[in-house]
Structure 1
Protein backbone atom coordinates (compact mmCIF):
# COMPACT_ATOMS: atom_id res chain seq x y z
CA UNK A 1 0.00 0.00 0.00
CA UNK A 2 2.85 2.39 0.72
CA UNK A 3 4.09 1.96 -2.85
CA UNK A 4 0.70 3.05 -4.14
CA UNK A 5 0.74 6.18 -2.02
CA UNK A 6 4.23 7.23 -3.18
CA UNK A 7 4.64 9.79 -5.90
CA UNK A 8 5.60 8.09 -9.21
CA UNK A 9 9.33 8.07 -9.96
CA UNK A 10 11.19 8.13 -13.25
CA UNK A 11 14.52 6.38 -13.86
CA UNK A 12 16.98 8.19 -16.14
CA UNK A 13 20.42 7.17 -17.32
CA UNK A 14 22.83 10.13 -17.73
CA UNK A 15 26.52 9.72 -18.30
CA UNK A 16 26.27 6.00 -17.42
CA UNK A 17 24.63 6.71 -14.04
CA UNK A 18 21.05 5.94 -13.02
CA UNK A 19 19.16 8.91 -11.65
CA UNK A 20 15.75 8.79 -9.96
CA UNK A 21 13.49 11.81 -10.41
CA UNK A 22 9.85 12.50 -9.61
CA UNK A 23 7.54 12.35 -12.59
CA UNK A 24 6.50 15.86 -13.57
CA UNK A 25 3.05 16.67 -14.84
CA UNK A 26 2.82 18.07 -18.36
CA UNK A 27 2.71 21.82 -18.41
CA UNK A 28 -0.71 23.16 -19.23
CA UNK A 29 -1.29 25.65 -21.97
CA UNK A 30 -3.73 28.50 -21.67
CA UNK A 31 -5.49 29.99 -18.71
CA UNK A 32 -6.59 28.12 -15.62
CA UNK A 33 -10.27 28.55 -16.55
CA UNK A 34 -9.72 27.04 -20.00
CA UNK A 35 -7.83 24.07 -18.57
CA UNK A 36 -10.53 23.56 -15.92
CA UNK A 37 -13.23 23.71 -18.63
CA UNK A 38 -11.33 21.16 -20.71
CA UNK A 39 -10.90 18.93 -17.66
CA UNK A 40 -14.61 19.25 -16.85
CA UNK A 41 -15.57 18.26 -20.41
CA UNK A 42 -13.24 15.27 -20.23
CA UNK A 43 -14.72 14.17 -16.88
CA UNK A 44 -18.23 14.62 -18.31
CA UNK A 45 -17.31 12.49 -21.36
CA UNK A 46 -15.86 9.70 -19.18
CA UNK A 47 -18.88 9.87 -16.90
CA UNK A 48 -21.20 9.38 -19.90
CA UNK A 49 -19.06 6.48 -21.13
CA UNK A 50 -19.21 4.85 -17.69
CA UNK A 51 -23.00 5.32 -17.53
CA UNK A 52 -23.41 3.69 -20.96
CA UNK A 53 -21.20 0.79 -19.94
CA UNK A 54 -23.20 0.27 -16.73
CA UNK A 55 -26.43 0.37 -18.74
CA UNK A 56 -25.10 -2.19 -21.24
CA UNK A 57 -23.90 -4.48 -18.45
CA UNK A 58 -27.31 -4.17 -16.76
CA UNK A 59 -29.09 -5.15 -19.98
CA UNK A 60 -26.78 -8.11 -20.58
CA UNK A 61 -27.28 -9.23 -16.99
CA UNK A 62 -31.07 -9.00 -17.30
CA UNK A 63 -30.97 -10.97 -20.56
CA UNK A 64 -28.82 -13.70 -19.02
CA UNK A 65 -31.10 -13.95 -16.00
CA UNK A 66 -34.14 -14.27 -18.28
CA UNK A 67 -32.52 -17.05 -20.31
CA UNK A 68 -31.44 -18.79 -17.10
CA UNK A 69 -34.99 -18.67 -15.74
CA UNK A 70 -36.39 -20.16 -18.96
CA UNK A 71 -33.79 -22.92 -18.91
CA UNK A 72 -34.38 -23.76 -15.25
CA UNK A 73 -38.15 -23.75 -15.80
CA UNK A 74 -37.72 -26.36 -18.54
CA UNK A 75 -35.46 -28.39 -16.27
CA UNK A 76 -38.03 -28.28 -13.46
CA UNK A 77 -40.73 -29.47 -15.87
CA UNK A 78 -38.51 -32.39 -16.86
CA UNK A 79 -37.79 -33.20 -13.21
CA UNK A 80 -41.51 -33.20 -12.31
CA UNK A 81 -42.26 -35.41 -15.34
CA UNK A 82 -39.60 -37.88 -14.23
CA UNK A 83 -41.00 -37.81 -10.70
CA UNK A 84 -44.50 -38.60 -11.96
CA UNK A 85 -43.17 -41.42 -14.16
CA UNK A 86 -41.29 -42.86 -11.18
CA UNK A 87 -44.45 -42.74 -9.07
CA UNK A 88 -46.44 -44.52 -11.80
CA UNK A 89 -43.81 -47.24 -12.14
CA UNK A 90 -43.66 -47.67 -8.38
CA UNK A 91 -47.46 -48.02 -8.29
CA UNK A 92 -47.28 -50.69 -11.01
CA UNK A 93 -44.63 -52.56 -9.00
CA UNK A 94 -46.84 -52.45 -5.91
CA UNK A 95 -49.77 -53.75 -7.95
CA UNK A 96 -47.70 -56.65 -9.31
CA UNK A 97 -46.40 -57.43 -5.83
CA UNK A 98 -49.92 -57.43 -4.38
CA UNK A 99 -51.14 -59.56 -7.26
CA UNK A 100 -48.30 -62.01 -6.59
CA UNK A 101 -49.30 -62.15 -2.90
CA UNK A 102 -52.90 -62.82 -3.91
CA UNK A 103 -51.80 -65.67 -6.20
CA UNK A 104 -49.63 -67.15 -3.46
CA UNK A 105 -52.56 -67.03 -1.05
CA UNK A 106 -54.83 -68.72 -3.61
CA UNK A 107 -52.27 -71.46 -4.28
CA UNK A 108 -51.86 -72.05 -0.54
CA UNK A 109 -55.64 -72.37 -0.18
CA UNK A 110 -55.83 -74.72 -3.16
CA UNK A 111 -52.99 -76.90 -1.83
CA UNK A 112 -54.41 -76.97 1.67
CA UNK A 113 -57.86 -77.81 0.29
CA UNK A 114 -56.33 -80.63 -1.76
CA UNK A 115 -54.48 -81.98 1.28
CA UNK A 116 -57.74 -82.12 3.22
CA UNK A 117 -59.43 -84.15 0.45
CA UNK A 118 -57.08 -87.12 0.80
CA UNK A 119 -58.77 -89.66 2.98
CA UNK A 120 -56.86 -91.23 5.78
CA UNK A 121 -56.57 -94.93 5.34
CA UNK A 122 -55.56 -97.58 7.79
CA UNK A 123 -54.46 -100.10 5.21
CA UNK A 124 -51.91 -99.94 2.43
CA UNK A 125 -53.10 -99.57 -1.17
CA UNK A 126 -50.26 -101.76 -2.40
CA UNK A 127 -50.85 -104.96 -0.48
CA UNK A 128 -53.95 -104.24 1.57
CA UNK A 129 -52.29 -104.94 4.92
CA UNK A 130 -52.67 -102.60 7.87
CA UNK A 131 -50.21 -99.68 8.14
CA UNK A 132 -47.67 -99.79 10.97
Structure 2
Protein backbone atom coordinates (compact mmCIF):
# COMPACT_ATOMS: atom_id res chain seq x y z
CA UNK A 1 0.00 0.00 0.00
CA UNK A 2 2.92 2.32 0.67
CA UNK A 3 4.31 1.80 -2.81
CA UNK A 4 0.95 2.66 -4.28
CA UNK A 5 0.83 5.98 -2.41
CA UNK A 6 4.38 6.74 -3.50
CA UNK A 7 3.50 6.05 -7.15
CA UNK A 8 0.44 8.26 -6.97
CA UNK A 9 2.44 10.99 -5.24
CA UNK A 10 5.16 10.89 -7.93
CA UNK A 11 2.49 11.02 -10.69
CA UNK A 12 0.88 14.06 -9.04
CA UNK A 13 4.18 15.92 -9.20
CA UNK A 14 4.17 15.70 -13.01
CA UNK A 15 0.55 16.77 -13.47
CA UNK A 16 -0.41 20.41 -13.82
CA UNK A 17 -2.28 21.85 -10.87
CA UNK A 18 -6.05 21.99 -11.30
CA UNK A 19 -6.03 25.74 -10.75
CA UNK A 20 -3.82 26.16 -13.84
CA UNK A 21 -6.45 24.59 -16.08
CA UNK A 22 -8.78 27.51 -15.58
CA UNK A 23 -10.87 28.96 -18.39
CA UNK A 24 -10.03 32.53 -17.38
CA UNK A 25 -6.79 32.71 -19.34
CA UNK A 26 -8.60 31.96 -22.59
CA UNK A 27 -10.70 35.13 -22.16
CA UNK A 28 -7.86 37.58 -21.51
CA UNK A 29 -6.82 38.39 -25.10
CA UNK A 30 -10.37 38.93 -26.45
CA UNK A 31 -11.07 41.11 -23.41
CA UNK A 32 -7.96 43.19 -24.09
CA UNK A 33 -9.10 43.62 -27.70
CA UNK A 34 -12.61 44.64 -26.60
CA UNK A 35 -11.26 47.22 -24.13
CA UNK A 36 -8.88 48.53 -26.81
CA UNK A 37 -11.76 48.87 -29.27
CA UNK A 38 -13.88 50.70 -26.71
CA UNK A 39 -11.06 53.06 -25.71
CA UNK A 40 -10.28 53.90 -29.35
CA UNK A 41 -13.91 54.51 -30.20
CA UNK A 42 -14.59 56.67 -27.11
CA UNK A 43 -11.35 58.63 -27.59
CA UNK A 44 -12.19 59.43 -31.21
CA UNK A 45 -15.79 60.30 -30.34
CA UNK A 46 -14.84 62.64 -27.51
CA UNK A 47 -12.03 64.19 -29.55
CA UNK A 48 -14.30 64.90 -32.49
CA UNK A 49 -17.20 66.14 -30.33
CA UNK A 50 -15.29 68.31 -27.85
CA UNK A 51 -11.90 69.24 -29.27
CA UNK A 52 -11.67 69.17 -33.05
CA UNK A 53 -15.25 69.64 -34.10
CA UNK A 54 -17.19 67.81 -36.76
CA UNK A 55 -14.80 68.59 -39.64
CA UNK A 56 -11.58 68.70 -37.60
CA UNK A 57 -8.55 66.43 -37.74
CA UNK A 58 -7.95 63.55 -35.35
CA UNK A 59 -4.47 64.87 -34.53
CA UNK A 60 -3.42 63.94 -30.99
CA UNK A 61 -6.20 61.38 -30.68
CA UNK A 62 -4.24 59.28 -33.15
CA UNK A 63 -1.28 59.32 -30.75
CA UNK A 64 -3.52 58.10 -27.93
CA UNK A 65 -4.86 55.33 -30.15
CA UNK A 66 -1.28 54.34 -31.01
CA UNK A 67 -0.43 54.20 -27.29
CA UNK A 68 -3.53 52.10 -26.57
CA UNK A 69 -2.51 49.77 -29.38
CA UNK A 70 1.03 49.27 -28.08
CA UNK A 71 -0.23 48.49 -24.57
CA UNK A 72 -2.96 46.16 -25.88
CA UNK A 73 -0.55 44.27 -28.14
CA UNK A 74 1.92 43.89 -25.26
CA UNK A 75 -0.83 42.35 -23.12
CA UNK A 76 -1.94 40.07 -25.92
CA UNK A 77 1.64 38.92 -26.59
CA UNK A 78 2.13 38.12 -22.89
CA UNK A 79 -1.10 36.13 -22.89
CA UNK A 80 -0.06 34.33 -26.08
CA UNK A 81 3.30 33.48 -24.51
CA UNK A 82 1.53 32.03 -21.46
CA UNK A 83 -0.76 30.05 -23.79
CA UNK A 84 2.23 28.77 -25.76
CA UNK A 85 3.96 27.63 -22.58
CA UNK A 86 0.78 25.89 -21.50
CA UNK A 87 0.37 24.30 -24.96
CA UNK A 88 3.92 22.94 -24.97
CA UNK A 89 3.74 21.60 -21.41
CA UNK A 90 5.17 18.13 -20.89
CA UNK A 91 5.70 15.46 -23.49
CA UNK A 92 2.32 15.45 -25.26
CA UNK A 93 1.79 16.20 -28.92
CA UNK A 94 -1.18 17.56 -30.85
CA UNK A 95 -4.04 16.86 -31.11
CA UNK A 96 -4.79 17.18 -27.41
CA UNK A 97 -7.77 14.84 -27.39
CA UNK A 98 -6.95 12.42 -24.59
CA UNK A 99 -9.09 12.39 -21.47
CA UNK A 100 -6.36 13.55 -19.13
CA UNK A 101 -5.65 16.68 -17.15
CA UNK A 102 -2.42 17.24 -19.11
CA UNK A 103 -4.21 17.21 -22.48
CA UNK A 104 -6.96 19.51 -21.20
CA UNK A 105 -4.26 21.85 -19.91
CA UNK A 106 -2.44 21.78 -23.27
CA UNK A 107 -5.68 22.25 -25.22
CA UNK A 108 -6.58 25.33 -23.19
CA UNK A 109 -3.10 26.69 -23.89
CA UNK A 110 -3.53 26.04 -27.61
CA UNK A 111 -6.94 27.73 -27.65
CA UNK A 112 -5.47 30.68 -25.73
CA UNK A 113 -2.65 30.95 -28.24
CA UNK A 114 -5.05 30.93 -31.21
CA UNK A 115 -7.42 33.46 -29.63
CA UNK A 116 -4.45 35.68 -28.85
CA UNK A 117 -3.46 35.64 -32.51
CA UNK A 118 -6.99 36.52 -33.56
CA UNK A 119 -7.15 39.29 -30.96
CA UNK A 120 -3.83 40.73 -32.15
CA UNK A 121 -5.11 40.89 -35.73
CA UNK A 122 -8.36 42.52 -34.57
CA UNK A 123 -6.43 45.06 -32.48
CA UNK A 124 -4.25 45.99 -35.45
CA UNK A 125 -7.33 46.39 -37.65
CA UNK A 126 -8.89 48.76 -35.11
CA UNK A 127 -5.69 50.80 -34.98
CA UNK A 128 -5.47 50.93 -38.77
CA UNK A 129 -8.71 52.90 -38.88
CA UNK A 130 -6.90 55.76 -37.13
CA UNK A 131 -4.10 55.53 -39.68
CA UNK A 132 -6.36 55.72 -42.72
CA UNK A 133 -9.05 58.04 -41.38
CA UNK A 134 -7.41 61.33 -40.54
CA UNK A 135 -10.43 63.58 -39.98
CA UNK A 136 -13.61 63.47 -37.93
CA UNK A 137 -15.89 63.88 -40.94
State TM-score, norm by structure 2: 0.30
- TM-score, normalization by structure 1: 0.31
Instruction: Please state which structure has a larger fraction of its residues in strand.
Output: 1
Query: 1 or 2 for the larger relative contact order (CA 8 Å, sep ≥6)?
Result: 2
Which structure has greater helix proportion?
2
Computing the radius of gyration over CA atoms, which structure comes out larger, 1 or 2?
1
